[in-house]
Amino acid sequence: MLSFLPAFVRGTIATLLLALNTLCCASLLFGVALFKLIPISSLKKLCTLIMIEIAEFWMYCNSGWMKLVGSTHWEVEGLNQLDYRGWYLVTSNHQSWVDILALQHVLNRRMPMLKFFLKQELIWVPVIGLCWWALDFPFMKRYTKAYLEKYPEKAGQDLETTRKACEKFKTTPVAVFNFLEGTRLTPAKHAQQQSPFKYLLKPKSGGIAFVLDAMGTQLRSLLDITIHYPNGNPSFWDLLSGQVPHVVMHCELKPIPSEFLGKNYQQDAEFRAEFQAWVSQLWLDKDAHLARLHAQYPTPTDRARQNSS
């Protein structure tokens, strides 16, 4: 709609709209969160539902400024299999900071709100940290192997923290999200890892194994999402300034093997090996899927490689 304006002007408008949207919705969220502190279970549940509505409105408004400043072509498959009242474990490849807003734009109100497991330190992020806390995003305190050797009594506390966090998810449908790669894909990280995958970093299995252990049989489906940017991986500024012309996203619902539910990833070596093999196969399939997408929608890098060969 505003494509006639220079990119810098569009980016400035989108930044102001994002900031205003965040401050307004955060103010409403904090107001409801005060009532959630009252120890009445029915009131807590009502407040949770209201806060989810506020968060989904925030995402809806973000979709609004994305449409205002840009004309992105969204090519999405697999949304018809989703249920707003279901419980899901969700994962995706991770290439850009744009991934999160892209996922929220596509999935908002089609399935329960995505909730990420966050490092405990992130609660101190201004405004957003308190929003995550109010919305019951789980904050994790992970201990290093060296720390546990020095303080063995702390062993298992991170899993217990996960279980307590997941208790809040048992009455309200939720989509627990985890980027298996743990960080964004860059050529430098790919080379440093010596990743066996062409388009992915190595997956980390422990995070989702913790979630499955903590939530038992509630999570029976994995929503496996593959994202591809035909014009190359965009920066967040590209999104703000309306310079993300095309996004391809494929959603596939997969069953979680029942034998994986409620198992102890840290202490059960046989289960750990089976689970890692399952995750590795997921990543092999995703890498092959990305190869097909790169062939169908070659990026500028792909075309440069083809021209040089």
Give the orientation angle of helix 7-36 with respect to helix 41-69, to 10 degrees: 180
Nearest to 120 by CA among 142, 135, 136, 100: 142
Q: Is residue 25 part of a domain?
A: no
Residue 307, Ramachandran bin (φ over 0: left; ψ between -120 and 50: alpha; else beta): alpha
Q: Is residue 23 part of a domain?
A: no
Average pLDDT over residues 24-28: 95
Q: Is residue 97 part of a domain?
A: yes
pLDDT in tens, 81-124: 899 988 899 999 999 999 999 999 999 999 999 988 777 777 78
Look up residue 260 and give its two tokens: 């994986």
The alpha carbon of residue 170 and the mean position of all alpha carbons in its chain are separated, in whole angstroms, by: 20
Name which of 94-98, 142-146, 264-268, 272-276 the model is least confident about. 142-146
Alpha helices in the chain (DSSP H): 7-36, 41-69, 98-107, 128-134, 145-150, 157-167, 187-193, 206-215, 236-240, 269-296, 300-308
Looking at the structure of the chain, the number of domains it has is 1
**CATH classification at residue 149:** 3.40.1130
pLDDT in tens, 54-64: 999 999 999 99
Rounded Cα distance between 77 and 253, Å, is 11
Give the orientation angle of helix 269-296 with respect to helix 206-215, to 10 degrees: 120
pLDDT in tens, 120-177: 777 788 888 889 888 888 777 666 666 666 766 666 666 666 677 777 777 788 899 9
Q: Is residue 1 part of a domain?
A: no
Residue span of the structural domain in which 303 resides = 73-308
Name which of 224-228, 232-236, 302-306 the model is least confident about. 302-306
Indicate the average pLDDT of the chain. 88
Q: Is residue 114 part of a domain?
A: yes
Rounded Cα distance between 208 and 178, Å, is 7
Rounded Cα distance between 102 and 297, Å, is 18
Q: Which residue is associated with the tokens 């059960």?
A: 268
Residues whose CB falls within 8 Å of the CB of residue 40, separated by 6 or more in sequence, listed in order: none
Q: Is residue 119 part of a domain?
A: yes
Q: Is residue 55 part of a domain?
A: no
Q: Is residue 250 part of a domain?
A: yes
Query: pLDDT at residue 189 above 70?
Result: yes
pLDDT in tens, 278-287: 999 999 999 9
pLDDT in tens, 42-51: 898 899 899 9
pTM: 0.90
